[in-house]
Structure 1
């Protein structure tokens, strides 16, 4: 089992949208951990891709995680891998670190589609959410059974760093503490 290499990783943030987040159990934790990951990704030059499910109905990505205008990938299918052009947006050979909502719908269907496409997928368990905790837990179990690795925010960040001698170590560790 390889460690998560920042030079081969893309952070995929799925559907953390304005009208959806108030209904998500422990949404503050999901948003905080995704925020830590996106900040670490910026510091470590890991590309980030954000999706938005039916933005007309669910709103755009929450402001604190919103990409530059026009940079979110719009979709109507629950699984992003089914959306026209999505797989083309993924750089070849990149592993995917996945956060987002809802774990048992859009995250699950996206992860299964990515696995079917031959991608290595790491789902950040403390950065995915659903309206109900039992749906989140069932989704994590199912994704793992299909071959996704379930990890935590800190696992990802420290694997991206690799060493306490990393030139950005102090900046990145501040995101965790």
Structure 2
């Protein structure tokens, strides 16, 4: 029964011999259930496996390891079942289910990061597109006291969150709180520096939490092109989508008749810089 005060539904999540009570918002669908399940058991299972929902069967057996004082009023009607076969990641994007992550595009990195001017230019296009389409943007700054703020060329107006960090991954508790406040979020578009450090660790943390990750290759770089190349190859093998800024923006509008198409078209009218990044993807 739903709790009228919190508008949440109690749920019992079970895996192997462990069962844990939790809750999800009333009306939650499959993706919310999977993400909640992975948040509880993600360290114990292969988080890259896909799941389907199975309707109640008498063959499920009995619950074990129930939390103290937790009673079962009726058998669960649904369960999540991991699929053995891999399902290709389709990578569909829509504004309603997408969040942009801009990682550490800071002033002190300017002389060290290869083709930094190019990725700033492309990153700014992505920020413009996010504002036009109403997509939340989360921006990190690595130790800004020593490395400076985000470069002035990138307009952070309207960003949902700009936060300092010392951890390489952007997936910190405050970011997880923002993601939790956006239950429909499914896809993360990630760009910035460095590809083999903060981008890679952020991407792996995100897929570990059930998100689909798109890394924008023409807005992502490192000090070393070898580090960048092998990081992108490794991430692609995990099912992360390596894409480009124009592909992302046009996929988000999807139709020439989209009310914001003209504005997005103006952003990409001039092609993104064909820098030395091209031959190092």
TM-score by length of 1: 0.93
Question: Which runs of 5 or more residues in structure 1 are unaligned?
Answer: none
Match for residue 80 of structure 1? 170
Match for residue 173 of structure 1? 265
How far residue 92 of structure 1 moved from its aligned partner, in angstroms, is: 2.6
**Counterparts of residues 90-109 of structure 1 (less than 5 Å):** 90=179, 91-94=182-185, 95-109=187-201
Give the paired residue count.
176
Question: Which runs of 5 or more residues in structure 2 are unaligned?
Answer: 1-89, 270-281
Give the helix-richer structure, 1 or 2: 1
For residue 231 of structure 2, give the secondary structure of its aligned residue in structure 1.
helix
Could you tell which deviates more after superposition, 152-161 or 167-176? 167-176
Cα distance in 2 for partners of 1:22, 1:167 equals 40
Would you say the 8 A contact 2:127–2:155 is kept in 1?
no
Match for residue 245 of structure 2? 153
Find the partner of 2:232 among 140, 150, 161: 140
Would you say the 8 A contact 2:195–2:227 is kept in 1?
yes
CA 1:173 to 1:43, structure 2 compared with 1: closer, same or farther past 3 Å?
same
CA 1:99 to 1:70, structure 2 compared with 1: closer, same or farther past 3 Å?
closer
Match for residue 218 of structure 2? 126
Indicate yes or no: 2:131 matched with 1:42. Answer: yes
Deviations 1:76-121 (CA, angstroms, capped at 9, x unpaired): 100122x332211222331100010000100101111111111111
TM-score by length of 2: 0.60
Higher-RCO chain (CA-CA 8 Å, sequence separation at least 6): 1
Structure 1's consecutive aligned runs of 4 or more residues displaced over 6 angstroms after TM superposition are: none
Which of structures 1 and 2 has the bigger CA Rg? 2
